[in-house]
Amino acid sequence: MYKGEALGDQMREVLKKYHADYIEVRLEESEATHIQYRGRELENLSKSQSLGGNVRAQVRGGWGFVSFNNVNGMGDKIELAIRQAGLVGKEISRLAPAEPVVDIVRVMTKKNAATVPVVEKKLLLDEYNEIIWSTPQIQTSSITYRDSSKKVIFANSEGSYIEQDKSDLALRITAIAREGEEVQQAGLSVGSNGNFAQIEGLHQQVKETARLAVEMLSAPEVEGGEYTVVLDPVLAGVFAHEAFGHLSESDFVYENEQLREIMVLGRRFGGKHLNIVDGAAIPDLRGSYKYDDEGVPATKTYLIQEGVLVGRLHSRETAAKMKETPTSNARAIGYRYPPIVRMTNTLIEPGSVSFEEMMGEIKTGIYVKNWYGGTTSMEMFTFSAGEAYMIRHGRIAELLRPVVLTGNVFATLENIDAIGNDLGINQGGGCGKGGQYPLPVSNGSPHLRIRHCLVGG
């Protein structure tokens, strides 16, 4: 597939010749297929190919980073990164210890999308699009499909040499309904670690999505205010990611004394029923891998156990500065970026409350499903539901227009008063941080009930 292998083999030898506290080199070759429909017709089917890499060096605590497409002249690039780091560094370099690893990880995905003929992909998407178009009152549709597979070579000055295959797949199907100037949309987002079979057989869900878009045209807007809300597992997964996951990323905390005090291990965030975990070692999901982009083997990290903060996500640098252990959460979306602390697969663990029990106690509330998106400022978060219903006397009542929910992380987790006994995983979408988007992640949760949640239209 590529001629990077020879380059990679030499890397460890080459790195020995340079003087810096730490150096790593990454080379990446990738191929992607992109299929897009806007309306009935296919708008774009394209194949892209990329070869590139980067060098990252640390000198006296400062970092230099060089990314490139032209892989010739590696020596100059390494020297530039070291020179940059030297200009920045004024302290001592600190990286948490990581055993050097030599390993070759080949992709084991079932029905890898990279091997599926383009025509088969197109036929499946044609079927989905046709389902939307055969729904009365649908104005148009939008489908975005992307699969990618890449081979990454990583070597560092501590003797690690890792070749890792990665594959990913994301599909978003949107149905758009219109009446007069009223435009409503409903979406379905799915993804996998490259397994094409996971996006097959969605016909019924696509049909529901189209029907929902039409129904929203005649749905009322929510009256803004505080409500008891029940989140379905898909939206609850997004909630876990936005409302708590990002706050667990140590790069926000490690250089900020005040935040370190707030995020002290042992602090109570929620009830005893609340357990939140993140880890790339949870297998076969979009955020799963064997080694992170610093070559640290994947782990599974409890962030909250029985309502108490017990852990956080680290790179080697944040772990060293906080005197904790690296958790294999240093990730980069590609060779143009240095690894930063990111989530992988973030889950709220199931509790013991059935859906019926959860709903039964609610006189007036809102049941929210599916997602449009979510974002966080650490303290405050918002997330928006693709589908919302009033709850009246313990039952799901009328459909509402999409709603936006917001809250304060320090209050909202305590307001979770019921955790379902089910579990659903959301693999759609992708995470954005520091200009790096979309990063493959997954999130999951049982149904959740949250009291006093601020809801707006």
Partner 1 sequence: MAVLTSGFATALSGGNELEKILSLAKRAGAEAEVFFTSYEKLPAIFEANRLKQLKANQGTLVALRIIKGGRVGFAITTRLDNRQELVNRAVEVSQFGASARFELPLRQFYPQIEVYDSEINGVTVGQMVELGESLIARLRAHSPELVCDVEVAKETALVQISNTRGGEASYHKSVIDIAIEGILTRGTDMLFVGDEASSCHPIRDVDELACSVINQLELAEKEASVATGYLPVIFTPHGVASAFIPSLALGFNGRIVLEGASPLGNRLAEQVFDPRLSLRDDATIIYQPRSRPCDDEGIPSQRTSLIENGVVKSFLYDLQTAGLANTQSTGNGDRSGGLPAPRVSALVIEPGDIAFEDMVKDLREGLVVEQLMGAEQTNILGGEFGGNVLLGYKVEKGEIVGRVKDTMVSGNVYKVLSELAAIGKETRWIGGMISTPAIFCPKLEVTSKS
Applying the rule CB under 8 A, the residues between 146 and 205 that interact with partner 1 are 176, 178, 181-185
Gap between the Cα atoms of 289 and 165, Å rounded: 9
Q: Which of 10, 16, 43, 306 binds partner 1 (CB under 8 A)?
A: 43
Q: Which of 373, 393, 398, 432 binds partner 1 (CB under 8 A)?
A: 373
Q: Which of 5, 16, 70, 99 binds partner 1 (CB under 8 A)?
A: 70
Binding positions for partner 1, 269-308, rule CB under 8 A: none
* Beta pairing, strands 276-278 & 345-348: antiparallel
Could you tell me the smallest distance in angstroms from the CB atom of residue 139 to partner 1? 5
Candidate ranges 62-70, 294-302, 354-362, 391-399; the one touching partner 1 (CB under 8 A): 62-70
> Residue 145: which of 187, 199, 193 has the closest Cα?
199
Size of the site for partner 1 (CB under 8 A): 77
> Residue 188: which of 203, 168, 166 has the closest Cα?
203
Could you tell me the smallest distance in angstroms from the CB atom of residue 283 to partner 1? 30
Binding positions for partner 1, 225-254, rule CB under 8 A: 225-226
Could you tell me the smallest distance in angstroms from the CB atom of residue 204 to partner 1? 24
Could you tell me the smallest distance in angstroms from the CB atom of residue 418 to partner 1? 21
- Strands annotated E in 180-316: 182-192, 225-231, 276-278, 301-305, 308-309
Residue 349: how many other CB atoms lie within 10 Å: 17
Q: Which of 140, 205, 305, 325 binds partner 1 (CB under 8 A)?
A: 140
Candidate ranges 50-58, 228-236, 356-364, 418-426; the one touching partner 1 (CB under 8 A): 50-58
Gap between the Cα atoms of 442 and 198, Å rounded: 14
- The smaller minimum CB distance to partner 1, of residues 7 and 455, is found at 455
Gap between the Cα atoms of 346 and 425, Å rounded: 9
With a CB cutoff of 8 Å and minimum separation 6, the contacts of 311 are 248, 265, 301, 302, 303, 327
Candidate ranges 60-68, 94-102, 277-285, 343-351; the one touching partner 1 (CB under 8 A): 60-68
- The smaller minimum CB distance to partner 1, of residues 220 and 457, is found at 457
With a CB cutoff of 8 Å and minimum separation 6, the contacts of 104 are 162, 163
- The smaller minimum CB distance to partner 1, of residues 374 and 430, is found at 374
> Residue 440: which of 301, 333, 338, 315 has the closest Cα?
333
User: Alpha helices of 294-344 — where are they, by DSSP H?
Assistant: 316-321
Cα dihedral sign for 444, 447, 449, 454? Answer: positive
DSSP single-letter state for residue 250: G
Instruction: Region of 434 please: left (phi>0), alpha (psi -120 to 50) or beta.
Output: left
Q: Which of 1, 6, 17, 46 binds partner 1 (CB under 8 A)?
A: 46
Q: Which of 13, 17, 119, 323 binds partner 1 (CB under 8 A)?
A: 119
Could you tell me the smallest distance in angstroms from the CB atom of residue 47 to partner 1? 5
Q: Are 315 and 294 in contact (CB under 8 A)?
A: yes
Q: Which of 1, 49, 106, 363 binds partner 1 (CB under 8 A)?
A: 49
Q: Is 108 in the site for partner 1 (CB under 8 A)?
A: no
Could you tell me the smallest distance in angstroms from the CB atom of residue 251 to partner 1? 8
Three-state secondary-structure class, residue 104? strand
The site map against partner 1 for 397-416 (x = CB under 8 A) is ----xx-x-x-x-x------
Could you tell me the smallest distance in angstroms from the CB atom of residue 178 to partner 1? 6
The site map against partner 1 for 320-359 (x = CB under 8 A) is ----------------x-x---------------------
Q: Is 118 in the site for partner 1 (CB under 8 A)?
A: yes
Structure tokens at 102: 């030599």
Could you tell me the smallest distance in angstroms from the CB atom of residue 52 to partner 1? 6
Tell me which residue has tokens 């609850």: 236
Candidate ranges 94-102, 292-300, 304-312, 382-390; the one touching partner 1 (CB under 8 A): 382-390
Cβ burial of 48 (10 Å; 0-12, 13-18, 19+) is exposed
Structure tokens at 457: 């239209």
Could you tell me the smallest distance in angstroms from the CB atom of residue 271 to partner 1? 18
Candidate ranges 14-22, 117-125, 188-196, 439-447; the one touching partner 1 (CB under 8 A): 117-125
